[in-house]
Amino acid sequence: MSELKGKVAIVGIGEVPTGRFPETAAIYHAIESAKQAIRDAGIDKDEIDFCMPTASLFSPQFNTELVTCRVVEELGLKKCKKNCQVFSGGSSSSCGLQMAGSLITSGVARTVLFVHSDRLGTGVTAQGGIDLFSTAGISAEWEVPFGQHYSSIAALSTTRYKYETGCTDEQLASVCVSNRKWAEKNPNAFFRKPLTIEEVMASKMLSTPLRAKMSNMLFDGGSAFVLTSAERARDLPNKPVYILGESGVVSHFVFSQELDVSRFGWAKAAKEAFEEADLTPQDMDVAEIYDSYPVYQMIGFEELGFCERGEAGEIFMRGETWPGRRIPCTTDGGMLSKGHIGAGGAVSLMVEAARQLMGKAGERQVKDARFAVETATGGTYMDAQVTILGTEIP
Amino acid sequence: MDTPKKPVPIVNPWARPFWDAAREERLVTQRCKDCDKFIFYPRIACPHCFSDNLEWVEVSGKGTIYSFTVVENNAPSAFIKEMPYVVAIIKLEEGVQMLSNVVECDLDELHCDMPVEITFEKLTDEFTLPKFRPV
Ligand SMILES: [Zn+2]
């Protein structure tokens, strides 16, 4: 249990479209997202006293610029006291939010700008992306020599998950279809044309049973949020989006050391987060579940408690997670349809959770959304991070 | 495109006995003399009881496939020529898990919990990789 519940709130959000923008400088994705978030919060830019950029992967040079205060200078954040990077790979959304929240509740900071940007779509070649993700976060001693990479990792989870639950390839494909339904309504998503199970099943086999259209693709993009105290939040124009509960489990570094590659630590993290929030999965209006590959969205969905183990496939097949249906899930289209922007995949989900709760999700707005759960994981699914957000404090 | 050389393990000094044994086609792991648990990959202290009292022991090389995949497309550059190849997590009889490749197998016959045994493949003069084949 943390002491963050109801004490801090997301008050502003910003995001640039996900895509391929070779003419655009990487910093643009950071500063445009941050500018939007500050304006959305309705605060003076000089209220930001802590700038927290998370890491960019495409270029160490660019990441060093983020570390060395470029965002602060570009935006003219004149009263900023600290610029400090918080990074835990794909779980940077949750870890960053909780770090920022702790700084605010302890009095170290009053208003934190958290910002992500990357250029994995145009900053590296397609094979370069595969090669980057066959070494980044993969053990150079125990896995790289055997040809391990991110597709084979997701395939290892998928094979075991199918073996234990009887999940079918069509059910996996239905997760991609569900996320696409949401992306069709998201102007910031890259893939917006309708997708069918047949199209997913006809796409190229990568690592069995994982097909090309079951894989995320890498793009350029960025997103940002502003966090401040609940007290200050009540004076600002947006509905405050409070942190209500959070927990996490760190399970492995070397993927093959994970004892359960089709469950991980989600159940424990979720139980603790829901207990802190004094809420249940059934209270959630929106489930922003980290996807990257369909099996991880199904595992997250089940382990969080939205259904029993092995039932997610049928629920996704029936379209119960689509817009207007029973359990809106991964409502920005996720990494599978909005596009994977590195550590920002889950930052997008966090921003989307806040957007839905603020009532600003436009065509894909979930009616009267009050509570949302966001999940994130970094590296090779090394951790399970769960955050519960809401506009009311139970 | 030139195919880069297959990557060799970047060895941590305390893991050197594992690779020395592999070069002699022996599979060894650490075992904790205090809590008796087998340990893989090699550590500087027991990850179970935190003891420094570790020893190297030869293990059976028998296990099962915990999970597997056949890489058919989009492999890392150095492995493009190997496709299709099998990446698998092997659960050894001694209770530890390791990543490897399953070789000398019918790709259509592979399944989870399938029994496998150790075999060795020379990568360079310095490195031999432990691999597995169906029993
Ligand atoms: Zn021990």
pLDDT of residue A123: 86
Q: Is B3 an interface residue toward A (CB < 8 Å)? A: no
Residues of B in contact with A130 (CB under 8 A): 74-77
Contact list in B for residue A217 (CB cut-off 8 A) is none
Neighbours of A238 (CB within 10 A): 22
**B5, part of any domain:** no
Exposed/middle/buried for residue A3 (C-beta within 10 Å: 0-12, 13-18, 19+): exposed
CA distance A312 to chain B (A): 21
Contact between chains at A140 and B7 (C-beta distance less than 8 A): yes
Residue of A nearest to B39 (CA): A257
Chain A CB within 8 Å of residue B120 CB: no
Residues A159 and A165: their CA atoms lie apart, in Å, by 10
Task: Name the minimum distance, in Å, from the CA of A152 to any CA of chain B.
Answer: 6
Task: Give the global pTM.
Answer: 0.96
**Domain assignment present for B112:** yes
pLDDT recorded at residue A3: 86
Q: For A130, which residue in chain B has the nearest alpha carbon?
A: B76
Q: Give the CA angle between residues A174, A90, A313 to the nearest 5°.
A: 20
Distance CA B45, CA A141 (A): 18
Look at residue A318 and give its three-state secondary structure. Answer: coil
How far is residue B62's CA from residue A303's CA, in Å, rounded to a whole number? 32
Q: Is A210 on the interface with B (CB under 8 A)?
A: yes
Write phi, then psi, for A284 (nearest 5 degrees): -75, 130
Q: With respect to residue B6, please indicate whether it lies within any of the assigned structural domains.
A: no
pLDDT at res. B1: 52
Q: Does A106 touch chain B (CB under 8 A)?
A: no
Ligand 1 centroid to Cα of residue B96, in Å, is 14
DSSP state letters, chain B: -PPPPPPPP---GGGHHHHHHHHTT--EEEEETTT--EESS--SS-TTT--S-EEEEE---EEEEEEEEEE-SS--GGGGGG-SEEEEEEEETTS-EEEEEB-SS-GGG--TT-EEEEEEEE-SSS-EEEEEEE-
- Considering the domain boundaries, does residue B55 fall inside one? yes
- The pLDDT, as a whole number, for residue B47 is 97
Identify whether the C-beta of residue A265 lies closer than 8 Å to the C-beta of residue A386: no
| 3-state secondary structure at position A210 | strand
In chain B, residues with a C-beta closer than 8 Å to the C-beta of A257 are 41, 97
Q: What is the dihedral of CA A338, A344, A347, A351, to 10 degrees?
A: -50
B47 within a domain of the structure (yes/no): yes
Q: Which domain holds residue B29?
A: 13-134
Cβ contact, residue pair B75, A149, below 8 Å: yes
Q: Write down the pLDDT at residue A140.
A: 94
> What are chain A's domains?
8-124+219-233 (3.40.47.10), 137-217+245-390 (3.40.47.10)
pLDDT for A126 equals 75
Burial string for A117-153 (b: 16+ CB within 10 Å, else e) reads: bbbbbbbbeeeebbbbbbeebbbebbbbbbbbbbbbb
Q: Most B CBs within 10 Å: which of A124, A131, A141, A167, as the mutation test of the B interface?
A: A141
Q: 3-state class of A295 per DSSP?
A: helix
Query: CA separation (Å) from B77 to A104, A131, A254, A391, B41?
Result: 46, 7, 21, 48, 26
Q: B111: distance to nearest CA of chain A, Å?
A: 9
In what order do the strands lie in the sheet containing A286-288?
A82-83, A50-53, A111-119, A220-229, A8-19, A241-250, A383-390, A371-376, A286-288
Ligand 1 mean position, distance from CA B94 (Å): 14
Decide if B124 touches A, using CB distance below 8 A.
Answer: no
Residues 145-174 of chain A with CB under 8 A from chain B are: 145-149, 151-152, 155-160, 163
Q: Which residues contact A150 (CB under 8 A, 6 or more apart)?
A: A133, A134, A380
Is the reported ipTM for this assembly greater than 0.90? yes
Length of chain B (residues): 135
Among candidates A229, A235, A234, A305, which has minimal Cα distance to A272?
A305
Mean pLDDT, contiguous 10-residue spans, chain A (394 residues)? 90 98 95 98 98 95 97 98 96 96 97 97 81 81 96 97 98 98 98 98 98 95 98 98 97 96 98 98 98 97 98 98 98 97 92 98 98 96 97 96
- Determine the pLDDT at residue A135: 76
Q: CB distance A140–B10 less than 8 Å?
A: yes
Chain B within 8 Å of A56 (Cβ-Cβ)?
Answer: no
The count of domains in chain B is: 1
- CB nearest to B67's CB, from A144, A148, A156: A156
Residues B42, B47, B50, B56: is their CA dihedral positive or negative?
negative
A28-65 burial code (b ≥16 CB/10 A, e <16): bbbbbbbbbbbebbebebebbbbbbbbbbbbeeebbeb
Taking CA atoms, A229 is separated from A4, A101, A200, A381, in Å, by 10, 8, 45, 31
Closest residue of chain A to B7, computed from CA coordinates: A145
> Are the Cβ atoms of B112 and A160 closer than 8 angstroms?
yes
pLDDT of residue B2: 63
Q: What is the pLDDT along chain B (135 residues), one digit of tens a residue?
A: 567 889 999 999 999 999 999 999 999 999 999 999 999 999 999 999 999 999 999 999 999 999 999 999 999 999 999 999 999 999 999 999 999 999 999 999 999 999 999 999 999 999 999 999 999
Q: Looking up tokens 């991110």, which residue turns up?
A: A150
Within an 8 Å CB–CB cutoff, is residue B85 touching chain A?
yes
The answer to whether the beta carbons of residues A118 and A29 sit under 8 Å apart is yes
Pick from A158, A207, A261: CB nearest B71: A207
Distance in angstroms (rounded) separating the CA atoms of residues B76 and A207: 12
Q: Which residues of B touch A134 (CB under 8 A)?
A: 76
Nearest to A118 by CA among A13, A216, A20, A214: A20
Test the A interface: residue of B67, B86, B90, B128 with most A CBs within 10 Å: B67
* Any domain includes B2: no
Contact B9 A144 (CB under 8 A): yes
B-chain residues near A139 (CB < 8 A): 41
Cβ-defined contact of A141 to B99 (cutoff 8 Å): no
Residue A305 has phi, psi (to 5 degrees) of 105, 15
- In A, minimum Cα distance to B15 occurs at A141
Q: What is the pLDDT of residue B41?
A: 97
Measured in angstroms, how far is the CA atom of residue A141 from the centroid of ligand 1? 23
